[in-house]
Amino acid sequence: MGYDLHITRRENWFDEGDDIALDEWLVVAQADPDLTVAEDGSADMRGPKEQLWPLWWYDGVVQTKNPEVGLIAKMVALAGVLGAKVQGDEGETYAADGSSDWGDEAPAPKKGWLARLLGR
């Protein structure tokens, strides 16, 4: 079981309406040099050691599972372009540094491989 983060314009990511259209997402994602994008709305960002960090569009929301802080930062930047926010499964919103408006109560994003190696 994992924890998802969502780029959404909705009050809650699971609500209906205020969708990010697939065409709109593709324009924004294809303009980002850090992303490799497929026509189905999925995109990959290369992380450390050529690790792939996936994003996918589904039903008006862009999402990923168990993101590391580097991908959260990218999601926040993309959300800014889309006039959206990054929201976790429980409704908390995230900033580029991986912190959330829930403080210590929010599920912690995974640390990158270097931070784990250095014990940070």
Least confident of 13-17, 76-80, 116-120: 116-120
- Looking at residue 37, its pLDDT comes to 93
Count of structural domains within the chain: 1
Domain hosting residue 22, numbered range: 4-118
The larger pLDDT score, comparing residue 1 to residue 56, is at 56
| Per-residue model confidence as pLDDT tens digits over 16-47 | 999 999 999 999 999 999 999 998 989 999 88
Can you give the pTM of this predicted structure? 0.82
Residue 109 Cα to chain centre, angstroms: 11
Show Cβ contacts of residue 12 under 8 Å, excluding neighbours closer than 6 positions.
87, 91
The larger pLDDT score, comparing residue 104 to residue 13, is at 13
| Per-residue model confidence as pLDDT tens digits over 51-85 | 889 999 999 999 999 998 899 999 999 999 999 99
Q: What is the DSSP letter of 111?
A: P
- Number of neighbours of residue 62 by Cβ within 10 angstroms: 27
- Number of neighbours of residue 55 by Cβ within 10 angstroms: 24
| Per-residue model confidence as pLDDT tens digits over 81-112 | 999 999 999 999 999 988 887 765 555 555 44
Two tokens, residue 34: 């850090």
